Structure 1
Amino acid sequence: MSDKKANATAYWKENIKYLVGLLLIWFLVSYGAGILFKDALNQFRLGGFKLGFWFAQQGSIYVFVILIFVYVRIMNKLDKKYGFDED
């Protein structure tokens, strides 16, 4: 019983580590690129729009969707690593 509990604790610690990392990336892209670094990014254009504006309006959403798929992939690997997969 304690082996299962230790396994579950290690699983959740690693899960939280990945979750915090991915949320940090999303924060940096949405808040950093859209607000903090917008003046520097606005020197470049993407699709006719200033890059800082693009990140604030659409880029952070795209990154969020990509991070969802990355999280699913990471969690599938983590489930297999700790024996929680459904296969």
Structure 2
Amino acid sequence: MSEKQKHASAYWKENVRYLFILLTIWFVVSYGAGILFKDALDSIRIGGFKLGFWFAQQGSIYAFVILIFVYIRLMNKLDKKYGFDE
């Protein structure tokens, strides 16, 4: 395997690892906080709404948007690390 292929393989493995971690966080926030832990979170209120309801309706969307920006930052660093930046 050539050096370029090793770089590309390492780059892809790290990219997949980032994706897995970020999607796991999104799953925990959207499914876990919005559905599984809803009853426990409902004892806390934000703006008059129960926290479980807030996560199910808006919190998971906010978390997803934040994770998109985190992914962009991670990928920019990864591109520079492996020399794939423009």
TM-score by length of 2: 0.98
Tell me what 2:16 maps to. Answer: 16
Q: Given residue 71 of structure 2, which amino acid in structure 1 is its aligned partner? A: Y
- Say yes or no: does 1:45 pair with 2:45: yes
Tell me what 1:2 maps to. Answer: 2
Deviation per residue, 1:25-84 (Å, 9 max, x gap): 000000000000000000001111000000000000000000000000000000000000
Q: Given residue 18 of structure 1, which amino acid in structure 2 is its aligned partner? A: Y
Q: Given residue 39 of structure 2, which amino acid in structure 1 is its aligned partner? A: D
TM-score by length of 1: 0.97
Counterpart Cα distance in 2 of 1:70 and 1:46: 25
Report sequence identity in percent.
79
Counterpart Cα distance in 1 of 2:62 and 2:49: 16
Query: Could you list the runs of 4 or more consecutive aligned residues of structure 1 that deviate by over 4 angstroms after TM superposition?
Result: none
- 1:19 Cα deviation from its structure 2 partner: 0.4
Which ranges in structure 1 are unaligned for 5 or more consecutive residues? none
- 1:12 Cα deviation from its structure 2 partner: 0.3
Which ranges in structure 2 are unaligned for 5 or more consecutive residues? none
Q: Given residue 33 of structure 1, which amino acid in structure 2 is its aligned partner? A: A
Matches within 5 A, 1:69-84: 69-84=69-84
Q: Given residue 43 of structure 1, which amino acid in structure 2 is its aligned partner? A: S
Q: Given residue 75 of structure 1, which amino acid in structure 2 is its aligned partner? A: M
RMSD after superposition: 0.8
